[in-house]
Structure 1
Amino acid sequence: MQPYIVSLLTNQRSKLMELWKKELDIVRQENYLHSVSDSVYENTNQEFMHFIIGIIDMDEKDAKVKLSSFAEDYIQSGWPLAYFTQGLQAFRRVNLALLSEGETDVENVLSNFTELENWIDRIINQLVYDYTGSWEDIFEMQKLSLLELSAPLIPVFEDVSVMPLIGTIDTARAKLIMENLLQGVIEHRSQVVLIDITGVPVVDTMVAHHIIQASEAVRLVGAKCILVGIRPEIAQTIVNLGIDLSKFPTKSTLRKGIETALELTNKKMVDL
C-alpha cells in the first residue's frame, strides 16, 4: 500500500477507530450476533480493529500469515464469518470518508481508494478461504468419526460378535462395514457374527449385495455370518426383488440370532 495511505490512516487512527466502531455497532443488529454479550462483542471489536490497522503497513506475506492465525482462533470459537466481512465493508466506507475529507482532487481520491479497496478485498478473500478450508476439514473429520461409530463390531459372548447397523447404507459406508467386520472378526477371534439390520430403513438390491459380500468375506476368514432383524416389510421387499439369501442364515430378531450363534459355538442359555 502507498506510504501516503498508510500515513493518513495511522495519523487519523483515533478518528478511524471511532467512526469504525459506530459502523460495527450497526453490524451487531444482525440476528446472528444477538446472543453475543456486550463485553464479548466490545472486546472482539477492539481486537479486530487493532489487528486490521496493525497489518496496514505490514509486508503482504507476513500479513497473510498473521491473518490466517487470527482467523483460526475465531473459527475455533464459532465466530461468524459475516461479522468480519461486514466489518471490513464498514472499514471500507469509513476510509472512503477519510480519504475524501478535504480533498479536492477526485482522481487522486479514487486512485487511493482503489488501492485501499483492493487491499481490503484481499483480506476478505483470505478470510473466506480460511473459513471455508477450516470448516471443510472439520466436516470431513466429523464425517469420518460418525462413519467409524456407525459400524462397530461388538463382542457379546466368547466367539460371538454383533454388528448393529443403523441408517442408510451407501457404497462408502458398505466399504467401512466390510473393513470393520473383517478386522473385528480377527481381533475378537469370532466364530459367529450377527449383522443386525433392525435399524436399516430400506433394504434394496444394492444393500443386499453389500450384505452378501460381507457374509462371503466373513466366511473366507473362517467365521459364520447370520443376518438378524429382518422385519416383515423387509422380508417382503427381499422376496419381491428376487434377492437370494439362501446361503445366508437369517433370523427375525437379535435374540433368536444369539440363540443360534450359541448353538453353533456349542453353548446354550440356561435359566437359573
Structure 2
Amino acid sequence: MYSQVMDVIQENKSYFVKKWMEIVKEEADEKIVDVVSDQIFTKTSNEFVDLIVSNLVNSVNFDSKLEDFALKIVKLGWPLTFVTTGLKTFERVVYDHLKRSNTITKDNYEDFVQYFDQWLTPMNNQVITAYTESWEKTVSLQKIALQELSAPLIPVFEKISVMPLVGTIDTERARQIMENLLSGVVKHRAEVVLIDITGVPVVDTMVAHHIIQAAEAVRLVGAKCMLVGIRPEIAQTIVNLGINLNQFSTNSTLRKGIEQALEMTNRKIVKKEGIE
C-alpha cells in the first residue's frame, strides 16, 4: 500500500499540484491568494507538496524542511487554517485519484482510510506546532524591532530634541517612551524637548496622563517639555475631558514648536538678505 501511494504521487505530482491549486484558489478567501503573485503561489504550492511527500518517505530532513516552510508561509501572511485546510485538500485530491484509478476498492477501502489517517494526521499536528512556533518567533522579532524604532529622541539643534510619536500609546509603550525620553535628554544634553503627537490618532485621559508624566520626568532632569502637533479635534478632546496641560508649552505644529524652542534657548530663525 505504501509503495502504491508513493508511486502514484511521484508519477502524478504535476497533476496533483495543479488540481490542489485550483481547489484552494476556488475555496480560499481571495485576500489570502491575492497577497502573493501567481509565480510565488505556484512555487510555494510545489514546496508544500514536496513537504508532504518527504513526510511520506520519512525524510531525515523533514523537521528542518517543515520549520523553513512554516516560517515562509507566516511571512507570506497565510493563516494556519489555510494551511491545515490545504493539507486536507491534498489528501482529498490524492484519494479521489486513487479511487478513480480503482487503486482504492470496496475491499481495501478501510485499509486506505486508516493509512491516510496514520500518514496525514501526525503531519497536521506537526504543521500546527511548526506554524505556531514560527508565528510566535516572528511576532517576537517584530515586537523587538518595533520597540527599537519606537519613540526615538532626535536631536534637531543643539540643546533641542524632538520625539515623534506615531500610533496608539498603551502602558508598555508609555514605559518605553519614558525610558527613551530620559536617556535621550541626558545623552543629547537637551534643554528643550518637543513631543510631537501629530501621528497619535487618539488622545484620551490615559494617553494625556502618560504625556504629563513624561513632561514631569523631563523637568526633573533639568529640561523643558513642549507638546506639538495638536490638531483641532485633539484640542477639543483635551478640553472636553478637562485635561490640564498647563505645566508645559503647546503648539499646533512642529515648525512653530521649533521656532519657540529656539527662542527659549536664546536663538531665532532669521532670513538672510538676498535669499528668497
* 2:67 equivalent to 1:68: yes
Shift of 1:45: 5.5
Change (3 A) 1:75 1:158: same
Shift of 1:207: 1.6
Q: Deviations over 1:57-78 (max 9, x none)?
A: 427x864444323444555566
Shift of 1:157: 0.9
Asked whether the equivalents of residues 160 and 193 of structure 1 are also in contact (C-alpha less than 8 Å), the reply is yes
Shift of 1:44: 5.3
Match of 1:20 in 2: 16
Asked whether the equivalents of residues 231 and 252 of structure 1 are also in contact (C-alpha less than 8 Å), the reply is yes
Q: Aligned partners of 1:19 and 1:256: how far apart in 2?
A: 66
Match of 1:8 in 2: 4
* 2:142 equivalent to 1:142: yes
Q: Deviations over 1:222-256 (max 9, x none)?
A: 21112233345444433333323232233344344
Q: Aligned partners of 1:26 and 1:231: how far apart in 2?
A: 50
Asked whether the equivalents of residues 27 and 83 of structure 1 are also in contact (C-alpha less than 8 Å), the reply is no
Change (3 A) 1:117 1:250: same
Match of 1:185 in 2: 185
Change (3 A) 1:254 1:84: closer
Asked whether the equivalents of residues 215 and 248 of structure 1 are also in contact (C-alpha less than 8 Å), the reply is yes
Asked whether the equivalents of residues 27 and 87 of structure 1 are also in contact (C-alpha less than 8 Å), the reply is no
Asked whether the equivalents of residues 9 and 16 of structure 1 are also in contact (C-alpha less than 8 Å), the reply is no
Q: Secondary structure at the match of 1:165?
A: strand
Q: Secondary structure at the match of 1:86?
A: helix
Match of 1:196 in 2: 196
Name the Cα RMSD after superposition.
Answer: 3.6
Match of 1:124 in 2: 124
The letter for the 1-side match of 2:176 is L
Change (3 A) 1:22 1:110: farther
The letter for the 1-side match of 2:22 is I
Q: Aligned partners of 1:133 and 1:152: how far apart in 2?
A: 30
Q: Aligned partners of 1:203 and 1:50: how far apart in 2?
A: 51
Match of 2:268 in 1: 268
Match of 2:220 in 1: 220
The letter for the 2-side match of 1:121 is T
Structure 2 unmatched runs, 5+: none
User: Which 10-residue stretch deviates more, 189-198 or 43-52?
Assistant: 43-52
Change (3 A) 1:92 1:189: same
Change (3 A) 1:102 1:150: closer
Q: Aligned partners of 1:215 and 1:163: how far apart in 2?
A: 12
Q: Aligned partners of 2:236 and 2:258: how far apart in 1?
A: 23
Change (3 A) 1:79 1:245: closer
Match of 2:56 in 1: 56
Asked whether the equivalents of residues 165 and 195 of structure 1 are also in contact (C-alpha less than 8 Å), the reply is yes
Q: Aligned partners of 1:126 and 1:271: how far apart in 2?
A: 68
Shift of 1:217: 1.1
The letter for the 1-side match of 2:91 is F
Q: Aligned partners of 2:235 and 2:98: how far apart in 1?
A: 75
The letter for the 1-side match of 2:186 is I
The letter for the 2-side match of 1:89 is T
Q: Percent identity?
A: 51
The letter for the 1-side match of 2:38 is V
Q: Deviations over 1:163-192 (max 9, x none)?
A: 222343322322222122112112211111
Shift of 1:131: 3.0
Asked whether the equivalents of residues 192 and 226 of structure 2 are also in contact (C-alpha less than 8 Å), the reply is yes
Structure 1 unmatched runs, 5+: none
Match of 1:152 in 2: 152
The letter for the 1-side match of 2:107 is D
* 2:87 equivalent to 1:91: no
Matches within 5 A, 1:99-110: 101=103, 103=105, 105=107, 109-110=109-110
* 2:236 equivalent to 1:240: no
